[in-house]
Amino acid sequence: MSKSLLGPGPITLDVLGLELDAEDRRRILDPLTGGVILFARNFSNRKQLSKLTADIKKLRPDVLISIDHEGGRVQRCKVDGFTHLPAMRKLGELWLTKSKSTHPAESAALAMAAATACGYILAAELRACGVDLSFTPVLDLDFGRSGVIGDRSFSRDPQIVFALAKSLNEGLRLADMANCGKHFPGHGWAEADSHVAIPVDQRSLKEILNEDAKPYEWLDLSLAAVMPAHVIYPKVDQHPAGFSKIWLHSILRQELGFEGVIFSDDLSMEGASVAGSVVKGAELALEAGCDAVLICNRPDMADQLLSKLKLTQAKQSESAARLNRLMPKSAALAWDELQSESEYQHAIGLLKQFQLI
């Protein structure tokens, strides 16, 4: 199809530094661009971040500005007032806290309240600086095998992962931010890091659906977006999940009834290399069921996608309609307003009470 604007395009790409240069502007203005993902290199302080996001929106108001901001070791903004949120494992540990004065049900309730507080603080602080979406929560189970997941996971128990993720999602929603569960159907068993290797999970489909995929099934309509894993599950499909029609269409869409946005994980990662060139990888991901593809830290690859990626008008229209649902519907509180807002103060106080921040 020709490059006509049908809403946000399927490519989410990054920018080089603390402010936009001419090449960043060219890429953002391309109709195939639908999102901009930010990294730590794009953040020095709140004023700079707010200007950067405002400049992006001036160019393309329909572009979704996103970031990986989970808490723990995956948090891009940690200074100049941003709350350094705990790793999600801390919430799972709070759930399991046993003491003479604490009933297990009370521990669970406290952990869920803390998860909601984390979600609200995370979303409210980012939105105050112009960021629309964080790629969170991690729904992977902590089998004690994956170093790249590790303490990013809430728990080994899918019921705990579900309950805490649902609570965190509620906190995001209260600040009018969507969510993105990752890495479908689960990255917790595969030991290799898909950033630098090609992970393989030899378990059966039944095992994966009965454990790893349960949080996705139970969260149902409360999940706004999903990011599949760059993991091969050879007993199900030869392709990594993000390039697999079986995983994305047959299982996620049809069997689990997911109707939200599917983002590919970063196509520059080693786990995506089995798909071939970045253009071939993007085509396979979109054909398998992704609505948007991420390309990070490789502007040369982003340019290849912008110049060579072809997709039908029907596909772009369908994906654009889904992507538009992730946009915040209300104006964000300014940073200074947020600091005195009662809900924010309550959330900060709760995390301090549990010694999570």
Strand-strand pairing, 69-71 and 11-14: unpaired
Which one of 84, 195, 220, 346 is the catalytic residue?
195
Q: Which of 147, 139, 220, 222 is nearest to 186 (CA)?
A: 139
Strand-strand pairing, 11-14 and 33-38: parallel
CB atoms within 10 A of CB 176: 17
| SS3 sequence of 122-174 | HHHHHHHCCCCEECCCECCCCCCCCCCCHHHCCCCCHHHHHHHHHHHHHHHHH
Q: Is 3 left (phi over 0), alpha (psi -120 to 50) or beta?
A: beta
Residues 186, 221: Cα–Cα separation, whole Å: 19
Residues 146, 228: Cα–Cα separation, whole Å: 16
- What single string gives the DSSP state of each residue in 276-300? -SHHHHHHHHHHHT-SEEEE-S-HH
Which one of 132, 142, 193, 265 is the catalytic residue?
265
Mark whether 62 is an active-site residue: no
Strand-strand pairing, 261-266 and 292-295: parallel
Residues 341, 319: Cα–Cα separation, whole Å: 36
Collapsed DSSP state (helix, strand, coil) of residue 243: helix
Yes or no: say if 144 and 156 are a contact pair by the CB < 8 Å rule: yes
Say if residue 123 is exposed, middle or buried (CB neighbours under 10 Å; 0-12, 13-18, 19+).
Answer: buried
Query: How is residue 7 written in tokens?
Result: 């809403």
How big is the chain, counted in residues?
357
Residues 342, 321: Cα–Cα separation, whole Å: 35
Backbone angles phi, psi at 114, to 5 degrees: -65, -40
Mark whether 346 is an active-site residue: no
Residues 86, 245: Cα–Cα separation, whole Å: 35
Report whether the peptide linkage leading into residue 137 is cis, meaning its omega lies within 30 degrees of zero. Answer: yes
Active site residue ranges: 195, 265
